[in-house]
């Protein structure tokens, strides 16, 4: 029986593998599920971002000799950002499927194609986790690398000042909710957050405000005397429908959600997306406040093409002893109005 040669079969070339990995489902990631940071493709490895009237905008590329964007009279600042490159590799060896029974079958043997699909799926899942980690950082104004070093601090890059005073235009608000104090006006705190976001949207639309809460913040919020009765009513209604009461609890104009993702880096260290005693409030339903810039893949075939969310390809090991598998993403999640994302703290 003829043996499949993966380097001559169309289903295993770079284009086919890239198409396949982009079709694999996203199995994890609340931000991806919400489509809060939609993909925005570019055909370069860096992107120009300008700040005009406190708003960050992506500068469009133009064909040489064509009319440029018109200069405006208001003050603006332009920064260039390199789009980070996130590669991952694996290897398919003969021992991965030689004499190995296929999962769920008593008689069928594993095939090269099925093992390749399993490896691609695992690599895609790893890239998905990386992207969610980047996005949760961008939501808070700082894009972190896997080792917690800062890739880009958007607040510093665009000189966005920190403030503890709500409704300060052009400033990043951190508001203490003082949830351990029984007399705190929690509803009033929520309204201050919503008003701050509305004022800093500067005409941008939103459908509402959501807050991703760390575990301690959420527990103290629902136990606060001014909030507890409302939450108990929410709890009864949601549990009657078989839902998760930690999601979609609305109070004071904000939808609170206990979302505290955690990842593990290559050294085994835990990377917490949101601190346990804090939360991040942000607008939903905006037109272009959030996006994920996608650059082309690091291949000869993809140079100067519009970026795709994921890429994959393979090449043979020496003497035909295996197949090296490569996958990558080239993303820069960005919030174009960092001051509309408000940090709330427990104390």
The secondary structure of the chain, three-state, reads CCCCCCCCCHHHCHHHHHHHHHHCCCCCCHHHHHCCCCEEECCCCEEEEEEECCEEEECCCCCCCCCCCCCCCCCEEEEEEECCEEEEEEEECHHHCCCCECCCCCCCECCHHHHHHHHHHHHHHHHHHHHHHHHHHHHCCEEECCCCCEEEEHHHHCCCEEECCCCCCCEEEEEECCCCCCCCCHHHHHHHHHHHHHHHCCCCCCCEEEEEECHHHHHHHHHCCCCHHHHHHHHHHHHHCCCCCCCCEEECCEEEEECCCEEECCCCCEEECCCCCEEEEEEECCCCCEEEEECCCCCHHHCCCCCCCCEEEEEECHHHCCEEEEEEEEEEEEECCHHHCEEEECC
The answer to whether the CB of 249 falls within 8 A of the CB of 237 is no
Calculate mean pLDDT across residues 117-146. 92
**Is residue 290's pLDDT more than 60?**
yes
**Confidence at residue 130, expressed as pLDDT on a 0 to 100 scale:** 93
For residues 87 and 84, give the distance between their C-alpha atoms in angstroms, rounded to a whole number. 10
Percentage above 90 pLDDT, the chain? 55
Phi first, then psi: give them for residue 93, nearest 5 degrees.
Answer: -115, 155
With 0-12 / 13-18 / 19 or more C-beta atoms within 10 angstroms meaning exposed / middle / buried, residue 235 is middle
pLDDT digits (tens, 9 = 90+) for 75-112: 567 788 999 999 999 998 887 776 555 555 544 546 77
For residues 20 and 4, give the distance between their C-alpha atoms in angstroms, rounded to a whole number. 18
What the chain holds in terms of domains, given with CATH numbers, is 10-59+76-345 (3.90.1690.10)
For residues 287 and 206, give the distance between their C-alpha atoms in angstroms, rounded to a whole number. 8
**Is residue 279's pLDDT more than 90?**
yes
Phi first, then psi: give them for residue 186, nearest 5 degrees.
Answer: -65, -40
- Beta-carbon contacts of 101 under 8 Å, excluding residues fewer than 6 positions away, are 108, 109, 110
**Confidence at residue 1, expressed as pLDDT on a 0 to 100 scale:** 41
Any bridge partners for residue 287, and if so which? none
Closest Cα to residue 208, out of 175, 255, 152? 255
Calculate mean pLDDT across residues 26-32. 76
Any bridge partners for residue 212, and if so which? 257, 280
Calculate mean pLDDT across residues 144-165. 91
Q: How far is CA 257 from the centre of its chain?
A: 17
Calculate mean pLDDT across residues 146-153. 92
pLDDT top residue among 38 and 147: 38
pLDDT top residue among 51 and 255: 255
- Provide the pLDDT confidence category of residue 262 given band limits of 50, 70 and 90: confident
**Confidence at residue 269, expressed as pLDDT on a 0 to 100 scale:** 81
The answer to whether the CB of 175 falls within 8 A of the CB of 259 is no
The answer to whether the CB of 75 falls within 8 A of the CB of 170 is no
**Confidence at residue 90, expressed as pLDDT on a 0 to 100 scale:** 92
Average pLDDT for the chain: 85
**Confidence at residue 72, expressed as pLDDT on a 0 to 100 scale:** 53
Calculate mean pLDDT across residues 118-126. 89
pLDDT digits (tens, 9 = 90+) for 9-28: 555 567 877 887 777 765 65
**Confidence at residue 3, expressed as pLDDT on a 0 to 100 scale:** 47
**Confidence at residue 66, expressed as pLDDT on a 0 to 100 scale:** 61
**Confidence at residue 107, expressed as pLDDT on a 0 to 100 scale:** 47
**Is residue 7's pLDDT more than 70?**
no
> What pTM did the predictor assign?
0.84
The 10 Å CB-count burial string (b at 16+, else e) for 13-39 is bbeebbebbeebeeeebbbbeeebbee
- Provide the pLDDT confidence category of residue 62 given band limits of 50, 70 and 90: low
Calculate mean pLDDT across residues 121-137. 92
Calculate mean pLDDT across residues 120-133. 91
For residues 167 and 272, give the distance between their C-alpha atoms in angstroms, rounded to a whole number. 29
**Is residue 68's pLDDT more than 70?**
no
């Amino acid at each position: 029986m003829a043996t499949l040669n993966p380097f001559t079969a169309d289903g295993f070339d770079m284009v086919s593998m890239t198409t396949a990995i982009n079709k694999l489902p996203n199995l994890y990631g609340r931000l991806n599920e919400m489509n809060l940071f939609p993909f925005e493709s570019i055909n370069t490895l860096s992107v120009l971002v300008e700040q005009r009237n406190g708003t960050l905008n992506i500068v469009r590329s133009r064909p040489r000799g064509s009319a440029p964007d018109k200069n405006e009279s208001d003050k603006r600042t332009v920064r260039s950002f390199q789009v980070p490159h996130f590669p991952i590799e694996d290897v398919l060896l003969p021992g991965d499927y030689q004499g190995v029974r296929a999962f769920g079958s008593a008689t069928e043997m594993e095939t090269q194609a099925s093992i390749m699909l399993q490896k691609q799926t695992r690599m895609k899942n790893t890239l998905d986790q990386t992207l969610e980690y980047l996005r949760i950082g961008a939501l808070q104004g700082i894009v972190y690398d896997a080792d917690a070093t800062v890739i880009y601090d958007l607040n510093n890059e665009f000189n966005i000042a920190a403030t503890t005073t709500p409704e300060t235009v052009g400033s990043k608000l951190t508001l203490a909710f003082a949830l351990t104090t029984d007399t705190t006006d929690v509803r009033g705190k929520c309204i201050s957050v919503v008003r701050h976001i509305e004022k800093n949207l500067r005409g941008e639309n939103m459908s509402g405000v959501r807050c991703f809460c760390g575990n301690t913040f959420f527990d103290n919020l629902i136990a606060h005397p001014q909030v507890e009765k409302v939450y108990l009513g929410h709890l009864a209604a949601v549990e009657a429908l078989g839902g998760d009461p930690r999601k979609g609890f609305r109070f004071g104009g904000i939808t609170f959600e206990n979302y505290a993702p955690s990842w593990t880096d290559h050294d085994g260290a835990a990377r917490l997306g949101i601190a346990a005693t804090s939360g991040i409030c942000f607008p939903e339903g905006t037109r272009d406040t959030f996006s994920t810039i996608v650059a082309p893949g690091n291949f000869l075939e993809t140079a100067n093409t519009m970026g795709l969310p994921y890429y994959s390809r393979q090449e043979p090991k020496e003497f035909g002893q295996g197949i090296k598998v490569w996958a990558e993403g080239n993303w820069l999640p960005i919030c174009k109005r960092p001051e509309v994302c408000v940090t709330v703290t427990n104390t």
